Amino acid sequence: MDAPTPFLNTTKTSAIRRDLERRLGPLPQVQKSYIILMTPRSGSNLLCADLRKFGFGNPDETFYRNPKTTKRLYGWETDDFYQHLRLALEYGTVNGIYGLKISWYQFRTFIAKARDLLGKDAQDLNDAEVLDVFFPNAHLIALRRRDKIAQAVSYAKGIQTGVWRVPKNLKVSLYRYTAPPIYHQPLIEACFDELVVADTLWMDFLHRHRLPYLEVWYEDLAENYVDTMLRVYDYLALTPPEQPQPRLKKLANAQSQAWMQRFREETEWLHEPQMQKALQESDFHQVQLLRFERLADERRELAWTRSWGYRTRKARRWIYRIYRKAQELRGKQPTTD
């Protein structure tokens, strides 16, 4: 069966890119580019370390939502998105190959800024075409993680410690922590929801625009690194000079396992059969629907219990009883208007 044709007007996106470079100056040229569509703690550091080691681009998160993060990590201080784009392309390109990894929320920020830059030229472009203007013919890699509870725990710990990756030959204890992580069920639950939503939105983006992509699972990277990376290299039409090997230390530890177990025990909705089935099958679209159903019900209940009508319901019922009795004594039929 032939692959579906992407919803991309590459003739139009190429013309827009040429016009943009005529007006604002040329962008760095690359021979090949790839973009890793990831979610936090999905194994992007593990995947990118090998690519970076062999000189196949320098994939990194160069489109953070917070400009302060960009300045702290890269020293770039510019409000000019086109200049930022030029710096990102220069930073991410090695040996003519450009690499980028980007989360869903970074992607949404990128698209918004790109549309502002393009102005009226972007009015008739879908998001995939906007991406193609700046990264033509990019190979897309969808990096996912099946165990969303483990991913959420890892994400919650990373938020607290600031430690996202550790070289394989360095002890984790030697890393400087911003603060020791503390178990907090609502934080892990919020991380879980964010990760499920982002994963679902990435899949929706790829399928809605019929974009070709390579799907890579974190669990496959962790359990069979060599074969999984060779699939990546084959997809990118690259030949590594030596056998791939994991270059980062696994951050999950006994504490992570304990948090996962505690979270499963304390989180009521994880015990529902439908949710368990959806998680077991990695059906994150169904997981999202089940979570939305529960959250919508909880939100309605919360809105009602916090409303003026709820707080005054007893007094209003008492007043209405008096009103109804008075109407009956006067020989009139009470109304509820």
CA 81 – CA 104 distance, rounded (Å): 18
- Whether residues 197 and 315 share a domain: the answer is no
Please give the DSSP secondary-structure letter assigned to residue 180.
-
Could you give the number of structural domains in the chain?
2
Span 280-303, average pLDDT: 93
From 251, 266, 281, give the residue that closes a domain: 266
How far apart, in Å, are the Cα atoms of 292 and each of 39, 185, 269, 280, 285? Answer: 20, 18, 12, 19, 11
The reply to whether 323 falls in a domain is yes
Confidence check: pLDDT of 22 > 70: yes
Least-confidence region, from 99-103, 175-179, 211-215: 175-179
Report which DSSP code applies to 172.
G
Residues 187, 58 within the same domain: yes
The DSSP letter of residue 37 is: E
Amino acid 53: pLDDT: 93
End-to-end CA distance of the chain: 63
Q: Which of 184-193, 274-283, 284-293, 320-329 has the lowest mean pLDDT?
A: 320-329
Q: Which residue has the higher pLDDT, 101 or 333?
A: 101
C-beta neighbour count of 144 within 10 angstroms: 23
* pLDDT for 174: 43
What per-residue confidence (pLDDT) applies to 2? Answer: 47
61-100: per-residue pLDDT in tens?
Answer: 999 888 888 888 888 888 899 999 999 999 999 999 999 9
Token pair of 43 as six digits: 């194994």
The two tokens of residue 74 are 């890269």
Query: Mean per-residue pLDDT for 201-229?
Result: 96
Residue 319 and residue 256 share a domain: no
| Domain final residue, candidates 231, 266, 301 | 266
- Backbone phi, then psi, for 35, in 5-degree steps? -130, 125
Res 166 pLDDT > 70: no
Query: What pLDDT sits at residue 173?
Result: 46
335 pLDDT above the threshold of 70? no
Predicted pLDDT of residue 332: 60
Q: Tens digits of per-residue pLDDT, 242-277?
A: 998 876 656 667 899 999 999 999 999 999 999 999
By residue count, the chain amounts to 337
Has residue 137 been placed in a domain?
yes
28 and 173: one domain?
yes
Residue 335 is part of which domain span? 311-337
Residue 161, classed as helix, strand or coil, is helix
Give pLDDT, residue 152. 96
Separation CA 312–CA 36 (nearest Å): 54
Residue 165, pLDDT above cutoff 70: no
* Domain final residue, candidates 266, 300, 325: 266
The pLDDT, as a whole number, for residue 1 is: 39
The per-residue pLDDT of the chain, averaged, comes to: 89
Give the largest CA-CA distance in the chain: 97
User: Exposed, middle or buried by CB within 10 Å (0-12, 13-18, 19+), for 332?
Assistant: exposed
Residue type, 272: E
Q: What is the mean pLDDT of residues 309-332?
A: 83
pLDDT grade, residue 334 (50/70/90)? low
Q: Examine residue 285 and state whether it is found in any structural domain, yes or no.
A: no
Structural domain contains residue 249: yes
Encode 1-35 in three state secondary structure. Answer: CCCCCCCCCHHHHHHHHHHHHHHHCCCCCCCEEEE
The CATH number of whichever domain residue 169 belongs to comes to 3.40.50.300
Residue 169 in domain? yes
